[in-house]
Amino acid sequence: MMTAPEVRPDRRLRLFESLPVSLTARKASGNRIWTDEYGELVDMESGCWAAPLGHAHPEILETLIEQAPRALHLHEKFVLRHASDLTEELCDASGLSGGDYCGTYLTSGTEAVSAAVWLAENLTKRTRKLCTNLSYLGATPDLRMPRNPDAWTDLDIRGCLDCGASSRCDLCEKLDGIDFRDHACFVFEPGNSGGRVLCPPPKLVSHLSARIRETGGLVVCNEVTTGFGRTGRWFGFQHYPSLVGASDLPDLIALGKGLGNGYPVSGVLLRSSLARQAREENLIYVQSHIDDPLGCAVARKVVEILGRDGLVARGDRVGASLRAQVEEARGGLRGISEVRGRGMMNVFQVPPEASPSRLFTALLRRGYFLGLSKRFQLLRAYAPLTLTDEEVRGFSSALRQALEEEGEEGRSPETPSPRG
């Protein structure tokens, strides 16, 4: 008599939005993920937005194998060149050399943003911070939403996104109540907006940055998601003219996700003049894995590949092609009401009467994994910068088919069966 296989309990703590289907991954390589339920999928989310070079890049794997036996983790008192060389190489590759930065490297994006904000508070001797209400900064109590109103000015910019070019921020009533003299910094997230791609207008960013700096505050850019080519520039703030001149560059930049192409490494860049001040004032910040040689070695290789292979410009071109083809695919069909994006940071807004979950599963059956937000009623495509033109064409064709399916009369919301 055959016995049923043992059903083992799922002991994962999964405190995030669930999917309408089960997805069991067996392998990830390049732009693809192999699953039990749906076979081979094109990964349109770059892992968790963190693999701009695709999965298991051979040069990254080689770097891990070469560096780990030499030094994987060391006490912070040891001097290693990897962290310093990483800062120099990153600044040279990305156009930041005019800013004269120092850097330190950590393990998570939240940790990097928290460290940058902590530095700004201590360097300015102020504790209040300014950001927009669309900005996701991290998961720790000092950063997560809803942010503490006693410590943060969360500027509601929903009405600013479509503000006319002739309007002047210095005359806007919404900004009149902000006493910039109380603020340590303006923490600017350049458009990810928690995965919604809602980009603040340049004139607003210019105004807030100028006012903060006029009163002795600092500009902190959160590039955890928007960095490393995600928006078609090395960094998202480079879409904003008021922050790209040598004297106008951000004072601090928080890095993460794409920096390690899936390996957990993050970082903070700080202008060298501020780094000297921090040392003179004996500020102390230490974490268990600060400047770990393995993470820094991986990050150096990521920077090298991005620059050598021209992937930032390539991602900008392919992202524009993706948006154009999605616009064409959705023509005349219900199911997508708006396409928004910069570079390889794109979302497809689903109208209230349609189901993003149903569209998500229809695309799974056709071989494409996208991000799904039932809360914001959208699908997300933060694809690797290595996404091919052929994969873009295949996706647009699959999307057209899925939208036609969505538009069929009387279709039930049941979960479609996986692909064979």
Domain 60-308, architecture per CATH? 3-Layer(aba) Sandwich (3.40)
CA–CA distances in Å: residue 31 to residues 51, 90, 142, 388: 9, 24, 35, 9
Residue ranges, CATH 3.90.1150.10, the chain = 25-49+310-406
* Mean pLDDT over the full length of the chain: 94
Contacts from 407-413 at CB under 8 Å and sequence distance 24+? 407/333, 407/334, 407/335, 411/358, 413/355, 413/357, 413/358
Topology of the domain comprising 25-49+310-406:
Aspartate Aminotransferase, domain 1 (3.90.1150)
Give per-residue pLDDT as tens, 214-239. Answer: 999 999 999 999 999 999 999 999 99
Cβ-count burial 287-313 (b if 16+ within 10 Å, e if not): eebbbbbbbbbbbbbbbebbbeeebbe
Low-confidence ranges of the chain (pLDDT < 50): 409-420
Q: What's residue 29's pLDDT?
A: 98
Q: What's residue 420's pLDDT?
A: 38
Q: What's residue 5's pLDDT?
A: 65
Assigned token pair, 391: 């994969």
Q: What's residue 1's pLDDT?
A: 55
Residue ranges, CATH 3.40.640.10, the chain = 60-308
SS3 of residue 303 by DSSP:
helix
N-terminal to C-terminal alpha carbon distance within the chain? 30
DSSP classification of residue 55: B
Contacts of residue 181, defined as CB under 8 A and 6 or more positions apart, other chains included, come to: 215, 216
CA–CA distances in Å: residue 327 to residues 231, 262, 333, 334, 400: 19, 30, 10, 12, 10
Residue 225's Cβ-side half-sphere holds a number of Cα atoms within 13 Å equal to 26
Residue 9's Cβ-side half-sphere holds a number of Cα atoms within 13 Å equal to 3
Q: What's residue 140's pLDDT?
A: 95
Q: How far is CA 258 from the centre of its chain?
A: 8
- pTM, to two decimals: 0.95
